[in-house]
Structure 1
Amino acid sequence: MYTVKEIAKCLNMTEHTIRYYTDMGLVPTLKRDKNGNRIFDEQSKNWLIGIKNLRGSGMSIKAIKDYVDLCLQGDSTVEERYKIIIEQKKKLEKKLKEMNERYKYIEYKANLYLDIMNHNIPDSTNPGTWSVSDLEPQEEKSL
């Protein structure tokens, strides 16, 4: 059994987040000790791991609650849960693609600055130094 502090440390989450998730009803196996303090068993820990991953994927608290409720209904909801996960996967794939594009841009900029610092090319990244001819649509500038 884990206390809020112990489970938070174990799962690298804040105590506040753990309390919030339990208050929202996302951990159906939550138990309380004789003083009313939250205590977590392995099953509760598993729920929190799932919630952490769903939340980390961008899923809303409401959507996670709906998902948890479906899980509690059992095998008859497997197809519906699958659809929820596939939809979230599509959203993640879109975000991943966007992040890869941003990463490539930052990688390009870092290499550009290395070339400038190594005096391989002049600094063309500073809009304050652009001349009127630089602003003609020959080549797009990159801030």
Structure 2
Amino acid sequence: MHTVKEVSKLLGLTEHTVRFYTDKGLVPSIQRDKNNNRLFDEESISWLIGVKYLKQCGMSVEDIKSYVDLCLEGRSTIQERYEIIMKQKAIAMAQLEEAKQRAKYMEEKANHYLDIINGVIPDDTNPKEWESINSNTPQKERTS
């Protein structure tokens, strides 16, 4: 059994977030000790992982609660749950593509800065320097 603090560190969530999710009924297997402190077993942690990922896809807490409720209803809701997951998968894939584009941009910027650092090209990243770069570069090179 794990405490809120342990689970928050394990999953990269704040303690407040873990408590909020449990208070909203998103972790149906949550247990309590004699002092009413939340205790998490592997099933509870699995619920939290699912909630975390659904939330990161942009799903609202209310929609996640509806999904959890469908899960608790059992087999009769599999098709509906499948459709929810497919929609969230599409969102996650779009987010992944956006992240790839950001990473590619940063890689290109890092390579550009390395070229500047290594003296391959002048520093063209600082507008203050543009005038001196342009004045030292023949007109033909500046326009290409």
Which band: TM-score by shorter chain? 0.7 to 0.9
Aligned amino acid, residue 123 of structure 1 = D
Q: Hey, which bits of structure 1, 4+ residues long, moved more than 4 A? A: none
Give the structure 1 partner of residue 25 of structure 2.
Answer: 25
RMSD: 2.3
One-letter amino acid of the structure 2 residue matched with residue 61 of structure 1: V
**Could you report, residue by residue, the CA deviation over 1:65-109 in whole angstroms, capped at 9, with x for unpaired residues?**
111111011111111111111111111111221221121111111
**CA positional deviation for 1:21:** 0.7
2:35 alignment partner, SS class: coil
Q: Which residue of 2 aligns with 1:69?
A: 69
Query: Identity of aligned pairs, percent?
Result: 57
The yes-or-no answer on 1:43 pairing with 2:43 is: yes
Q: 1:117 aligned to 2:98?
A: no
Give the match's secondary structure for 1:26.
Answer: coil
Greater helix percent: which structure?
Answer: 2
Could you say which residue in structure 2 is the equivalent of 1:93? 93
User: 2:3 maps to what in 1?
Assistant: 3
SS of 1:130's partner is helix
**What are structure 1's unaligned runs of at least 5 residues?**
none
Q: Distance in 1 between matches of 2:96 and 2:11?
A: 24
Q: Note the C-alpha offset of 1:27.
A: 0.8
Q: 1:127 to 1:66 in 2, by over 3 A?
A: same
Letter in 1 for 2:78: V
Using the size of structure 1 for normalisation, the TM-score is: 0.79
Match of residue 78 from structure 1: 78
Q: Across the two proteins, how many residue pairs are aligned to each other?
A: 135
Alignment deviations for residues 12-41 of structure 1 (CA, whole Å, 9 cap, x no partner): 433222111111110112222333222223
When residues 122 and 7 of structure 1 are mapped into structure 2, their CA distance, relative to the original with a 3 A threshold, is closer
